[in-house]
Amino acid sequence: MSETRLNFKEMCARFDVTPRTLRYYEYIELLTPHKEGRSRFYGPREIARMTLILRGRRFGFSLEDIRRWLQLYDEAGTQTQMADWLTKAEAQLKVLEDQRRELDETIEELRELRDRSINEAG
What's the pTM?
A: 0.79
* Longest distance between any two alpha carbons in the chain, whole Å: 72
Domain with 9, as residue range(s), is: 1-58
Q: Does residue 74 fall inside a structural domain?
A: no
Write the pLDDT tens digit of every residue in 45-96.
999 999 999 999 999 999 999 999 999 888 888 898 889 989 999 999 999 9
pLDDT band (50, 70, 90) for residue 121 = confident
Q: Does residue 10 fall inside a structural domain?
A: yes
**Number of structural domains the chain divides into:** 1
Q: Does residue 45 fall inside a structural domain?
A: yes
Q: Does residue 48 fall inside a structural domain?
A: yes
Q: Any idea what the CATH number is for the domain that residue 19 is in? A: 1.10.1660.10
